[in-house]
Structure 1
Amino acid sequence: MTRLVLTLAFLAVIALLAALMWWGYRGRARRQAAVLPAFPAVPDGLLAKARAGELAELLPPSTGVYASTVTDAGWQDRVAVGDVGFRANATAHLVAEGVLFDREGAAPVWIPAGSVLAARTEAGIAGKVMGRDGLLVVRWAVDGQGFDTGFRADDKDDYDTWVPALGALNPEVSNGD
């Protein structure tokens, strides 16, 4: 009988902790929805062309994992509005108009070229910590609000071409730290 009671108590604690995490994340989403600007929509036809392989891309697409998008307040301040804070397998496409993260099972993330502020490699971002230079991080802004979007490429050598290419995308971009 004691073993059963301990097991049930343990399961109750686990359920309570899961409910508290869900409640906290939902509260963060409500708070952020009131202050964060709307994310840019993917231009008409761009996603279909990307999936069909018909885009005029500046670099070959890079496959990997979209880690998350965080606010410029810190690398752990994950955006909870919509699904941009959720990790997903993705393909990154770089075109003259911007950067498209085509995520599997989630909405695509579009960063217009004029919004890009910086490109660099980092050790981590909310949802993914890889070690030195393990992630490509794009800093961008919408209506004065800064964001960092992290992407872990399957081939880390892609970063050597993506960081300078993002710099060429927007002449105002800062390459590096």
Structure 2
Amino acid sequence: MDVLLVCTIELSLGLAVFAMAGRVISGLLLRRHATGRLSVTWADAAFVALIVASGTYALGLLLLRWGYSEYEYCSWGRTGEPPEIASPDAEFLSYERSFLPLGSECRWGDGFVEQTVPPWLNGVLLASLLAAALAATLAVSASRRARAGSAGSAGSGGPTAPPAARAQ
């Protein structure tokens, strides 16, 4: 794949994540300006957690180094220089890439193994996805409670009305 195309895709992903984060932050600030206080809902928290998850996954994809051959990528990681300048002493065995969980691993004949995606990245990805799921669940629950509360306060005498109102 052309390196320029890969860099363009990576840059686009990064800009999209920052644009989503900016939208959430500006929305919260506008809401604060209108009401005089900062009002964060569970839906906002879920959206922020999804932005963190998206940014983390985009960072992991960047660390997979698209646009290079497996040997170039691994030898660059091992020596810190392009393979044309400094060739590794050991024989290149394999390169494995994984999208879930994010990871890449270079194996060399002398037993050297390099992992280019840090281990904490998958932990942050999982934690932010779980936080998003929990916040979304709480947002739905709060929305249902609010609707049930507004229906009960209308004096309908339904199951959400206080017992005294149902007795009349």
TM superposition score normalised by structure 1: 0.28
TM superposition score normalised by structure 2: 0.30
Give the structure with the higher percent strand.
1
